[in-house]
Structure 1
Amino acid sequence: MKFNVKLNSASTIEEIENYWKDEDFVKLLELYSFPEADTIKPENLREMLFMAITDFEPNEAAKIILTYKLSENLNEGQIDQISNEMLLDKISEEYPEIGLHYDLFNINQLLFKAFNGKFPNAKATKVEFELTSADNSKEEITKEIVLKSLNNGLSESNLIKRLFSDQMSTEKRFDEAEDIIWKLDKKDESNYTILTSDYWLNKDELIAEEFDADFELAEKDEEE
């Protein structure tokens, strides 16, 4: 597959818009024993939640949110451990199951803002780019294709290139791409936006504004 890649912008962000919904805030307020949470005006929910959160010790507050969001993925012992560790370390970058990094990032940042910095400040990267096929490929653009396409525009120090060099530069399947890229949004036929962790991709590691990508994907029968 051959593409021309043109980077339009790359920025560091500390919060993912629309991850937390009003109904999440109401349910969390109830879990923090805040009275009549369902009567609070939507524009006041976040402020009230921060007040409710800080009535608890940081690790206890973390445990409540972790249980609310990740009880189907983590057991009680894991939640206890993470609730303590995330006060010291960026668990959203270090936790071995990268499929949980997106949720852990958003949980961490909510606690970071509520407790005015008692939790580490994790960061994310937003990249807007144009991806144009140079060989008339009709393949649907996936997270794997996006990462392989970015390979030639990334510095050699980039963590994805260092940990997944074969997946980035050969036809080897890159299943981890689904978790490394948190969100892939298509704006039109050739313009896309991705969100990922600053841990995986710092905006300064994008060292070229326009470049070509040439790679192969694993055969379909190999994926089944």
Structure 2
Amino acid sequence: MKFKITINELKTVEELPNYWNNQDYIYLLEQFDFPDAKTIKPENLLEMLHMAITDFEPNEAAAIVLTYKLSDRLNEGQIAQISNDMLQDKVSEEYPEIDLHYDLFNINQLLYKAFNGKFPNAKATIVGFSMVPDEDKDKEVTKEMVLKSFNNGISDRNLIKRLFTQQLSTEKEFAEAEAVLWKLDEKDPNHFTLITSEYWLSKEDFVAPEFEGLCLLPEEDENEGN
């Protein structure tokens, strides 16, 4: 499949909307021994949480937040290790299980803001783009299709391109795309927004605002629905 791709927006951000909600803040306030958390006005919850977090040592605070969000994926030993490592390293970029990077990014940035920079500052990239097929095809655009199609428009220095050369340029399945791209939203037909780590895709990685994308899918996908 071929697509005409136009990059309409590129920005780098330090936090993402809608990951945390007020119920998260209330629960965490309680975990940080803040009294009467449920009585706090919604607009003050995050500020109060930042204050409550800083009553703890940074690694202790990290362990509490990690346990809340990832205890179903990580055991106590892993949480203890990460809570110490993330004071020195960008764990949301370096942790070997890349499907945890999105959660680790948001946890890291909550702690980074609360402790005023004691944790490394990680960043995310938001890309708004149009992706128009060269022929009418009633096929859902997936994260795999987007990354394969972006191959022609990003620098050879890009980390995705260096680590996943075969997956991007051939019909080989690119299962890791689901974790590399954190979010992919279709705004209207052929217009999308993606969110990923700056580690994977930065503004500087794009070499042209418009380019032709070639997406080679595994044969069973190409024949799907025929």
* Common fold by TM > 0.5: yes
Residue in 2 that maps onto 1:74: 74
Q: Structure 1 counterpart of 2:156, which letter?
A: E
Residue in 2 that maps onto 1:24: 24
Q: Which moved more, 1:128-137 or 1:47-56?
A: 128-137
Q: Secondary structure at the match of 1:187?
A: strand
Q: Structure 2 counterpart of 1:155, which letter?
A: S
Point out where structure 2 has 5 or more consecutive residues left out of the alignment.
Answer: none
CA–CA separation in structure 2 for the residues paired with 1:177 and 1:215: 13
CA–CA separation in structure 2 for the residues paired with 1:60 and 1:203: 34
CA–CA separation in structure 2 for the residues paired with 1:11 and 1:86: 25
Query: What is the 5 A alignment of 1:1-224?
Result: 1-220=1-220
The Cα offsets for residues 46-96 of structure 1, whole Å up to 9 and x where unpaired, read as 000000000000000000000000000000000000000000000000000
Contact 2:148 2:216 in 1 (8 A): no
CA–CA separation in structure 2 for the residues paired with 1:132 and 1:221: 19
Point out where structure 1 has 5 or more consecutive residues left out of the alignment.
Answer: none
Distance apart, 1:190 and its partner CA: 1.0
Distance apart, 1:135 and its partner CA: 2.2
CA RMSD of aligned residues (A): 1.4
Q: How many residues align?
A: 224
Q: Secondary structure at the match of 1:125?
A: strand
CA–CA separation in structure 2 for the residues paired with 1:213 and 1:80: 43
Q: Structure 1 counterpart of 2:217, which letter?
A: L
CA–CA separation in structure 2 for the residues paired with 1:44 and 1:214: 48
CA–CA separation in structure 2 for the residues paired with 1:216 and 1:198: 25
Contact 2:3 2:134 in 1 (8 A): yes
CA–CA separation in structure 2 for the residues paired with 1:49 and 1:196: 26
Instruction: Say if 1:195 and 1:53 are closer, same or farther in 2 by CA, change over 3 A.
Output: same
Q: Which moved more, 1:144-153 or 1:130-139?
A: 130-139
CA–CA separation in structure 2 for the residues paired with 1:90 and 1:221: 36
Distance apart, 1:138 and its partner CA: 1.7
Provide TM-score, normalisation by structure 2.
0.97
Q: Secondary structure at the match of 2:188?
A: coil
Percent same amino acid among aligned pairs?
64
Provide TM-score, normalisation by structure 1.
0.98
Q: Structure 2 counterpart of 1:124, which letter?
A: A
CA–CA separation in structure 1 for the residues paired with 2:221 and 2:145: 18
Q: Structure 1 counterpart of 2:168, which letter?
A: M
Q: Secondary structure at the match of 1:139?
A: coil
CA–CA separation in structure 2 for the residues paired with 1:33 and 1:170: 53
Distance apart, 1:221 and its partner CA: 7.2
